[in-house]
Each structure stands twice: as C-alpha cells, then as structure tokens.
Amino acid sequence: MKGQILLVSGPSGSGKSTLLKRLFSEEKGIYFSISSTTRAIRDGEINGVHYNFISKEEFEEGIKNDEFLEWAQVHKNYYGTSLKPVKEQLELGNIVVFDIDVQGFAIAREKFKSLITSVFITTTNKKELKKRLESRGTDNAKTIENRLMNAVGEMEHILEYDYFLINDDIQKSYKGLRSIVRAMRLKSTNINLRQTVENWIDC
Ligand code: ADP
Ligand code: 5GP
C-alpha cells in the first residue's frame, strides 16, 4: 500500500473537526475516513459526510461481517471505521484521516503500524473543554458531563501518540497540524527506492 494514515484523537469538543475541515479545504490528496456510528445526528451534520448514521442492528451486522477495521463503544454509542474505503484510498497513495478515540487507535496501530502518524489534540484544560462543549450547543448537560468524564480517561493516553497539539489558538494549532501533514509527505517510506537509485545513477 502506498498511502498513509493520519490518526487524530482527543476529547470531544477539543476542536478536531474544526481543524480537519480546514485541512481538507487547503491540502490535496487527503481523504476523510467516514466512520459509522449509532449516535443521534446533530444539527448541521450530514449523513454520509460527517458520519454514516446507522442503527444498532446494522452496526452489529457490520461487526459480524468483519466490515470494520476497528470499532469501539464511546459515550455509550458504537463508532467504527470501515475497512474497504480506507484500503482503496491507501492503494491510491492518499493520506487517510481517522478521527477516532483512544481505543480505536490501539486497534488500528496493531493493524497499520508503520502507516500511521498519530496526533492527540486537546484544550488547555478541562474548564475550557466544558466551555466549548457548551458553546457548540449540540449536547445536553448530561451528555456534556459524560463527555468530560470520558475526556479525563483519554488524556491518560497522550504519550502513546507521535504528536501533541494544545488547540488554544486555532491559527497556531492549524499550522502545527499542517506541518505534521507536510512532514508525512516527506517520509522516506514514500519513496520508491529502486527507481530513485536508478534515476540517480543514470543522470
Ligand atoms: P471535536 O471535533 O473535537 O469534537 P469541534 O471541532 O466540534 O470539536 O469543536 C468544538 C467547539 O469548539 C466548536 O464550537 C468549535 O467552533 C470550537 N473551537 C474549536 N477550536 C477552537 C479554538 N482553538 N478556540 C476556541 N474555540 C474553538
Ligand atoms: P463525536 O460523537 O463527538 O462525534 O465523537 C465522539 C468520539 O468518538 C470522538 O473521540 C471521536 O474521535 C470518536 N470516534 C469517531 N469515529 C470513530 C471511529 O470510527 N472509531 C472509534 N474508535 N472512535 C471514533
């Protein structure tokens, strides 16, 4: 496979979607792995763009049929990454972006180790995360409490990731993320070694 995986994790509300949206609009050859989920669709979300919103029964059928390269239960809902579209994009040499939780990262890492560059994105502190979840206005107080509790557990995994971004200033964080993508494109593993050496000798 020629492509690579940019795997992003971090507490819900830390700004992952906001940063990724900008990345997709500004960088070429990047494909978003659309996860499937059983959680309710939020205002502003589009089925088949942000997620494939499916029922619990459909999700469990997908698990049975081995359709997911990884899946997890997050905030009491199922979330999973479909294997087929990811493989297709990797064959095309694209960078495939996963926005998945720490459990999904552990599984994906086992399967695609050398292809993954991982980034953990968070806020300066828990108070700021709460503020963002409240101002996003997509979750009720109970869901926000649940997400904050989950965030504490996720923070324990920071050291497992290649990069760490504190998304305080959006401009600065975006530049950080873009630098990571640009460095991925320069990885020596992207080079066709034989071709490169032959070209070098011939000239
Ligand atoms: P996630 O995808 O990690 O759940 P979002 O991208 O939905 O998070 O961001 C959560 C909220 O925080 C949104 O309302 C977004 O506009 C806001 N936000 C994102 N980045 C910043 C930032 N650096 N400073 C302030 N607010 C931000
Ligand atoms: P949200 O409900 O805020 O969109 O996402 C909640 C959490 O689920 C986030 O931490 C997000 O990264 C994670 N997530 C989204 N898609 C997947 C997926 O396909 N697999 C796993 N393991 N986690 C996912």
Q: Give the number of other Cβ atoms within 10 Å of residue 7's Cβ.
A: 25
pLDDT at position 189 = 83
Q: Whose CA is nearest to atom 26 of ligand 1?
A: 132
81 lines ligand 2 (CB under 6 A): yes
Q: Is residue 55 part of an annotated ligand binding site? A: no
Q: Is residue 44 part of an annotated ligand binding site? A: no
112 lines ligand 2 (CB under 6 A): no
Contact partners, residue 19, CB within 8 Å, separation at least 6: 121, 167, 170, 173, 174, 177
Q: Kindly give the distance from the C-alpha atom of residue 161 to the centroid of ligand 2, in angstroms, as a whole number.
A: 16
Tell which one of 19, 42, 132 to mutate to probe ligand 1, the residue whose CB is within 8 A of the most ligand atoms.
132
pLDDT at position 1 = 58
pLDDT at position 45 = 93
15 lines ligand 1 (CB under 6 A): yes
154 lines ligand 2 (CB under 6 A): no
pLDDT at position 188 = 86
Whole-angstrom distance, CA of residue 6 vs CA of residue 159 = 17
| Rounded (5°) CA angle 135-158-39 | 45
pLDDT at position 203 = 86
Q: Which numbered atom of ligand 2 lies nearest the CA of 81?
A: 19
pLDDT at position 73 = 94
Q: Is residue 11 part of an annotated ligand binding site? A: yes
Q: Whose CA is nearest to atom 22 of ligand 1?
A: 170
pLDDT along the chain (203 residues), means of 10: 92 96 95 96 94 97 97 93 95 96 96 95 97 92 94 96 98 98 91 91 92
Q: Whose CA is nearest to atom 15 of ligand 1?
A: 15
Nearest to 138 by CA among 149, 126, 147, 125: 147
Contact partners, residue 2, CB within 8 Å, separation at least 6: 90, 91, 92, 93, 190
